[in-house]
Structure 1
């Protein structure tokens, strides 16, 4: 799966889109990808991504460590940051326009593919 095809999920506890995060520290989790709640200070929501993602940054030829969706523009945008940019200044490497994600601007009451995990963690695949 290419980076522009990444699905995004929403933490229903906070009604916020999750980040796509790839572990960049050495150890057994290195290179594994996860969805984490963007409200990370108060939420422990995390889901491991089983699909193999081709997440290489075209700007730096390094793997992408973080992605987020912004709905504050005419078209939804997917921002991404690779491990090189993370080490340099922590800023975003670039963005991809994602017109396929326009429906994310719907109201909270409209849910897509709702699942329940471990009876207490609810999320929505977008």
Structure 2
């Protein structure tokens, strides 16, 4: 007797059907032009075929360093021309003074400095008052 998982079969059928649609093909074409060349560059020129460090945090740090290097390269190459769109200009702006930086966000290693469930769900007031 063979037992089948109908939920996974339904999901696979939906995925197969979605892969035949035009929006999926359009998204694949965009990815091939925008994202894949950056991964190929990272693999060929920046050593992303194999990470040197071990453990998830260190691998993430190494990947972020490689991506940062690619971004700096592009900033230097296109920096003299200036940003073409307002969103690009906003991305290049310095962060606001009141907002915490990356080093301030991850002070507590592995644990959250505040309990998110306590701040949202443990109050006997309407939700709109919590803002």
Q: Do Structure 1 and Structure 2 share a fold, with TM-score over 0.5?
A: no
Instruction: Tell me the TM-score normalized by structure 2.
Output: 0.21
- Answer with 1 or 2: which has the greater Rg: 2
- If asked which structure has higher relative contact order (CA below 8 Å, sep 6+), I would say 1
Structure whose residues are more often helix by fraction: 2
Structure whose residues are more often strand by fraction: 1
